[in-house]
Chain A
């Protein structure tokens, strides 16, 4: 019998040479006449160890990493196919502290299963939630989701069950389920990992949503920067269709649900739900004014629920294990788990799923291990390009929707980008406005014009022109953007700008340049 060896096919692993490692293993195995079966799994989310190679042994899976192609011969010689230790040996995968400390509900299978195998998905508990949902009337599915306390994982944190209930109650001959897979926030990759590593989970979650609101068609709106996710999703949808999990008769229930992947074309603002709908309809991705809510009048004017990948991906667990089981995790009004992503200049970058309530400091210093460069952490941006910068003084903030709002920040899609003490916060504040200017859809003035004027004012402050007056002007401009913009792009860009000004005022008066000079 051949030994099963796992080499991730996840884009993050491919980016650091996983394909070359897989080929090297095949080659050496062939040379030695050893039978190996290479499974291209998703990533476990321990990116500093990628490419992370696992071997299935009698006592479970053991890991080696980070493996380079030139390490492979040595691994064979050290007996890695029997799980024997060598220089890159990490022990039993599940016992690696970064993994062991997590509560993986949504990511339970990611990195474990073969993402192309529906049988593997089923063998690891997949489709159990759908089986339960198929026995329930729509209102009961919605009730379960409501009772779980699940809130939208895309950033807004709106209660998912309420959204679904609104769409369920909307009378229409045709309704849609739309997955927002336009994961554009820098520092986030959880959606990508699910689509590449456990695509059937998203299909299952969206199918349950379709049953819940009475929709027969779903779209996954996927960003063009994720070609590997496109391939994985399309393959999984085709497999689900062949197995009768999608199509006119879902699981033999007589109910229909069909799924289609639609690719974006590089527009950050299309992650905003109404802009996404415009794009799906074939138009410029310009934001719509609300109301009407998409749940009343969404895609092609029909009632539509739009949720993030992680929101749909949380649903199968809720349906299979029960709303209360999910609800038991978390704190306050933030229930369940959040897949948090540690990125940027961090020693242990990756995916860390845990119940709400862990502090920012624990995430960055303890779990993330501080910076990759070994220098002191100076700032972390939480929640993507529209999220606030947090200094170490605020590291006692618990990861929770309300707690972050109280500190003038947001958790967004759960991305944390770590910066060391070489960062120039005036440059970061300027970039936030510049990014807003590049990506603005142009529909509302505060965002379209405010972002450009903002970069100019920051430049003047840094140049030392009328500093007091220009600082007041930036504050005022941010207030206009905050309250006058149609969507979160213009409305939230003030978060990174104002937090940089508040916590790092010295960088706006040339302190960064002086610091860098002193360092040299």
Chain B
């Protein structure tokens, strides 16, 4: 599965950002929002449009935690692993979720069902532990809520 099929789309996104100062992140954000990841084939297109080298685009792409270079699973679970969630039992919840989803952090299940990612703070620290499931926020996660997340994702 190469990114070739997405060239036209990347070009379209690049064109929509002409004249934008410091457009690298806005472009990469839009590519990822649309495709779920940033295919390698996008790098030279973005580089050419911004008049920088592909190495520089690569540097940006690999600096930020959000960017994926492979397609994610059909569901994406982002679980907060920062201090406020740790204080509220987050470490145990993390173990439980890994077990229920059958993946570790930074992994996608072999069947492409789910990707589990660590985040460091969703700003939901007074309703901790918290997560984002396919963009939807979930707080006060206990075993019951964790099981509900797993059930939703494992369908």
B-binding residues in A (CB < 8 A) = 11-12, 14-16, 47-48, 50, 183-189, 191-192, 224-228, 262-268, 279-286, 300, 341-346, 349-351, 372, 381, 385, 415, 417-420, 423, 428, 431, 435, 438-439, 441
Contact = CB atoms under 8 A, between A and B. Distances in A.
- Closest A-B pairs by Cβ, 4 of them: A15-B139, A349-B126, A344-B87, A282-B24
A14 B124 CA distance: 10
B119 interface: yes
B121 interface: yes
Given A16-B140, A282-B60, A186 B25 contact: no
A284 B59 contact: yes
B137 A186 contact: no
Given A15-B130, A284-B59, A285-B63, A225 B87 contact: no
Given A184-B120, A282-B60, A265 B65 contact: yes
A286 B85 CA distance: 28
Nearest to A184: B121
B109 interface: no
Given A183-B123, A189-B126, A342-B126, A283 B83 contact: no
Contacts of B86: 344, 428, 431
A317 to B, nearest CB: 23
A343 B137 CA distance: 17
Contact of A262 (B26, B124, B128): B26
Interface in B13-71: 21-26, 28-29, 50, 56, 59-60, 63-67
B5 interface: no
A325 B123 CA distance: 31
Interface in B108-132: 119-128, 130, 132
A423 B87 CA distance: 7
Interface in B90-119: 119
Given A185-B121, A282-B25, 18 more contacts: A11-B122, A15-B127, A15-B139, A16-B139, A225-B119, A262-B22, A262-B25, A265-B25, A266-B64, A266-B66, A267-B63, A285-B63, A342-B126, A343-B84, A346-B126, A372-B88, A420-B87, A428-B86
B84 A268 contact: no
Contacts of B138: 15
Contact of A268 (B60, B80, B120): B120
Interface of B: 21-26, 28-29, 50, 56, 59-60, 63-67, 80, 82-89, 119-128, 130, 132, 135-140
A90 to B, nearest CB: 17
Nearest to B65: A266
Contact of B127 (A16, A282, A385): A16
Contacts of A189: 123-126
Contacts of B60: 282-284
A47 B126 contact: yes
Contact of A186 (B29, B56, B82, B139): B82
B63 A284 contact: yes
Contacts of A47: 126-127
Contacts of A279: 25
A285 to B, nearest CB: 6
B127 A187 contact: no
A183 B124 CA distance: 12
B59 A265 contact: no
A435 B67 CA distance: 19
Given A186-B85, A282-B23, A419-B87, A267 B65 contact: yes
Contacts of A438: 120
B87 A417 contact: yes
A229 to B, nearest CB: 8
Contacts of B126: 12, 47-48, 189, 341-343, 346, 349-351
A227 B132 CA distance: 11
Contact of B83 (A12, A50, A285, A381): A381
A266 B123 contact: no
Nearest to A343: B125
Contact of B124 (A12, A224, A372, A381): A12
Nearest to A14: B137
Contact of B123 (A226, A267, A282): A226
Contact of A344 (B21, B64, B88, B137): B88
A184 B88 CA distance: 18
A381 B87 CA distance: 10
Nearest to B64: A265
20 contacts: A12-B126, A15-B124, A15-B140, A47-B127, A186-B84, A189-B124, A189-B125, A189-B126, A191-B123, A264-B25, A265-B29, A265-B64, A267-B64, A279-B25, A283-B56, A343-B126, A344-B125, A345-B89, A349-B127, A417-B87
Query: Which of A262, A266, A415, A431 has the most chain B CB within a 10 Å cutoff?
Result: A266
A15 B63 contact: no
Given A265-B66, A265-B67, A282-B25, A345 B88 contact: yes
A419 to B, nearest CB: 5
B125 A283 contact: no
Contacts of A262: 22, 25-26
B64 A431 contact: no
Contacts of B67: 265
A299 B139 CA distance: 37
B146 to A, nearest CB: 14
A417 B87 CA distance: 7
Contacts of A282: 21-25, 50, 60
Contacts of B84: 186-187, 343-344, 415, 417
B128 A344 contact: yes
